[in-house]
A and B are shown apart, each in its own frame.
Chain A
Amino acid sequence: DGGITQSPKYLFRKEGQNVTLSCEQNLNHDAMYWYRQDPGQGLRLIYYSQIVNDFQKGDIAEGYSVSREKKESFPLTVTSAQKNPTAFYLCASSSYGAGGTDTQYFGPGTRLTVL
C-alpha cells in the first residue's frame, strides 16, 4: 500500500445519502486517481487530478464528485445520483501528471455497500 491511505475500509450507505471516501498520500506525488472495481472485473477510472486545484472526469464520473485542495488529499464523494454505487473503490497516485509516465501506486481500497 505504500504511503497511500484510504478510509474507511468498509462503508455502508442508505439510499439517497451522500458519502465521502478519504484518500491521503505522503509520497509527494502530483497526480491522484479514483477507480471503481466491480466483482471479477478490472478498474474503471472515475476522476483524476494531475495538479492541486485541478481535476478531470474519467470514464464513469456521473454521480461522483471530487476536490483537490491539498496535494496530499483527494476525497471522493459518492452522491445520491449514482444509481449503483456498491463497489470497491481504489485511490492511486503517481509522480507525474501531465509531465510524463510513471507507475500508479494504489491504496488499500474502500468497500462501499448500499443498504
Chain B
Amino acid sequence: GESVGLHLPTLSVQEGDNSIINCAYSNSASDYFIWYKQESGKGPQFIIDIRSNMDKRQGQRVTVLLNKTVKHLSLQIAATQPGDSAVYFCAENYGAGNMLTFGGGTRLMVKP
C-alpha cells in the first residue's frame, strides 16, 4: 500500500503551549484517518478520527485538520500537558475492508 509519513520525528514543546503534529499521506483514495497516542510500553490509544468528507473535527483539547488538496493531516493539542508526552501515529484507511496504514510516529516531549 501507499505510505503515510510524518514531517517531524520529535517535537518538544513547553507545558501550556499548543502542539501541532503533522502527517502527509500519499493515497488520494483514502477516506478515513485516525490519530493514535502511544505511551512507552503500551498499546496505541485512539485520540480522534476524521472522514474525508470533513476538513476539521474537534475533540477535548484536540483538533484534527484534513487538507485533501495537499494530502496533509494535522493534530493540534491545546494547552499541552506533561501527560501528553508520547508517540503520536497517524493512520489512513486503504484498500478493501477496514485496513490501516500507519506512519512512523512523532515523539512529543512536553517540558515543564
Q: Does A50 contact B (CB under 8 A)?
A: yes
Counting residue pairs across A and B whose Cβ atoms lie within 8 Å, the total is 56
Chain A residue with Cβ nearest B3:
A42
Which residue from chain B places its CB closest to the CB of A111 in the assembled complex? B41
A42-B102, A43-B102 as given contacts; A101 in contact with B43, CB under 8 Å: no
- Nearest CB of A to B32, in Å: 4
- Complex contacts, A47 vs chain B, CB 8 Å: none
Interface size class of B (residues with CB under 8 A): 20 to 34
Interface check B31, CB cutoff 8 A: yes
A: interface residue count bin: 20 to 34
Residues from 71 to 112 in A contacting B, C-beta threshold 8 Å: 90, 94, 96-98, 100-109, 111
B residues 15-47 in Cβ contact with A at 8 Å: 31-32, 34, 36, 41-46
Which residue of the partner chain B has the closest CB to A100? B98
- Residues of A near B93 (CB, < 8 A) are 101
Assembled-state Cα–Cα distance A40/B100 (Å): 19
User: Quick check: A31 and B98 within 8 Å, CB to CB?
Assistant: yes
Interface residues of A (CB under 8 A from B): 1, 4, 6, 31, 40-43, 45, 48, 50, 90, 94, 96-98, 100-109, 111
- A selection of 16 A-B contacts at a CB cut-off of 8 Å is A1-B43, A6-B43, A31-B97, A42-B102, A42-B104, A42-B105, A43-B89, A43-B102, A45-B99, A90-B43, A94-B98, A97-B98, A106-B44, A107-B43, A109-B42, A109-B43
